[in-house]
């Protein structure tokens, strides 16, 4: 793969905060970014160009693809028909297989099991009629998750007993209970030449299905963290992946269990902006542009905290604190559950 020359344009599907931070990282390496986003695009504040059009607009998609040199994405739920058209014009990195695996929770779990990694026990629940048998197999507690489009706790129903009969309304996966003591995530990158680089695993804390903090170091045994990195590397190699991926894992008495993968830069990797010379956003741009991967070695201990909804009222206080790095996403209304920014605290 030929390296993109400075001045080339990277197309980004999705205009949220991840696209915004990717655009900033690309600009430091001399690249321009063109963002494609059907709705409001915070990334548009810092990108070279923005196309606001639906993914069904073939003319807009074609014009976008012809204006860029390579295409990447900040979220994985891009319609297949749009990807087909875009890929006929420009390369998409990470590749379409990574998207196909991550867009469907059942496909993702089948893939992970197929390469020898442990996941939560699961059953396909295609229709509401499949639910009783799945609950009988896995028991309760369990979580029913939509196979597609769920994130930040959306599209999920918790089952506390096997008599419960709530339904998502769409094909879903029932996940059995995992007795875990912690959740960690590995931010891993793979270059076009097959080079793999991983950041230190971070310890994640969620509330109401939304990530609240990620802390490094995570205080777990070195052997377990090595296993986590090796598992992440196995995933990106199996997918012939190019770019950054987030891999979430549960720590259990029986070992590590893969919770989910995200084929993009990841919320739990924001700490790298304060803790590493090359953060996850620059690492992703390097990979999709065909550049050598950077040094992901951690040189500081960091806690990342998401600023969600009313947390924005704390902004004046946070700005006054020493050793705190504030990142705001340029969004308007601070609604409950909406990620407005994050802070990185040096510990």
Annotated binding site for ATP: 105, 145, 150-156, 175-178, 183, 206, 259-260
User: CA 211, CA 153: separation in Å to the nearest integer?
Assistant: 10
For tokens 């950041």, name the residue. Answer: 199
Which residues 6+ apart lie within 8 Å of 290 measured at CB?
Answer: 1, 2, 3, 4, 191, 192
3-state class (DSSP) for residue 240: coil
Closest to 284 (Cα-Cα) out of 246, 243, 245: 243
Would you tell me the crossing angle of helices 80-87 and 96-103 to the nearest 10 degrees? 180
Annotated binding site: 105, 145, 150-156, 175-178, 183, 206, 259-260
Is there a contact between 175 and 147 (Cβ–Cβ < 8 Å)?
no
Which residues 6+ apart lie within 8 Å of 69 measured at CB?
Answer: 4, 8, 9, 10, 11, 90
Where helices occur in 147-279 by DSSP H, the ranges are: 222-238, 272-275
User: CA 75, CA 94: separation in Å to the nearest integer?
Assistant: 11
Q: Hey, which residues does 302 pair with through a beta bridge? A: 216, 346
Would you tell me the crossing angle of helices 105-114 and 96-103 to the nearest 10 degrees? 110
Beta strands 32-36 and 49-51 are parallel
Q: Cβ–Cβ contacts within 10 Å for residue 130, how many?
A: 15
**C-alpha dist (Å) from residue 94 to 45, 114, 327, 335:** 24, 20, 26, 32
Q: Cβ–Cβ contacts within 10 Å for residue 154, how many?
A: 12
């Amino acid at each position: 793969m030929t390296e993109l020359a400075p001045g080339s344009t990277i197309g980004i599907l999705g205009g949220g905060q991840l696209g915004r931070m990717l655009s900033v990282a690309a600009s430091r390496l001399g690249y321009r970014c063109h963002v494609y986003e059907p709705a409001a695009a915070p990334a548009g504040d810092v990108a070279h160009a923005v196309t606001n059009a639906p993914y069904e607009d073939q003319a807009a998609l074609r014009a976008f693809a012809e204006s860029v040199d390579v295409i990447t994405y900040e979220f994985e739920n891009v319609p297949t028909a749009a990807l087909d058209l875009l890929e006929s014009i420009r390369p998409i990195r990470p590749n379409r297989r990574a998207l196909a695996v991550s867009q469907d929770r059942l496909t993702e779990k089948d893939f992970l099991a197929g390469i020898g990694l442990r996941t939560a026990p699961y059953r396909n629940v295609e229709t509401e009629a499949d639910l009783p048998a799945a609950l009988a197999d896995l028991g309760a507690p369990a979580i029913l998750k939509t196979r597609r489009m769920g994130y930040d706790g959306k599209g999920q129903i918790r089952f506390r007993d096997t008599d419960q009969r709530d339904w998502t309304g769409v094909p879903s996966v029932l996940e059995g209970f995992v007795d875990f003591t912690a959740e960690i995530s590995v931010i891993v990158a793979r270059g076009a030449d097959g080079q793999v680089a991983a950041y230190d695993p971070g310890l994640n804390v969620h509330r109401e299905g939304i990530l609240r903090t990620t802390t490094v170091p995570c205080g777990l045994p070195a052997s377990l963290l090595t296993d986590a990195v090796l598992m992440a590397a196995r995933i990106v190699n199996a997918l012939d992946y190019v770019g950054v991926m987030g891999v979430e894992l549960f720590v259990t008495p029986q070992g590590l269990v893969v919770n989910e993968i995200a084929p993009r830069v990841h919320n739990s990797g924001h700490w790298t902006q304060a803790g590493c010379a090359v953060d996850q956003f620059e690492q992703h741009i390097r990979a999709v542009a065909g550049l050598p991967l950077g040094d992901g070695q951690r040189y500081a201990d960091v806690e990342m905290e998401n600023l969600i909804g009313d947390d924005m009222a704390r902004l004046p206080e946070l700005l006054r604190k020493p050793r705190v790095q504030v990142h705001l996403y340029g969004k308007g209304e601070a609604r409950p559950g909406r990620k407005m920014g994050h802070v990185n605290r040096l510990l």
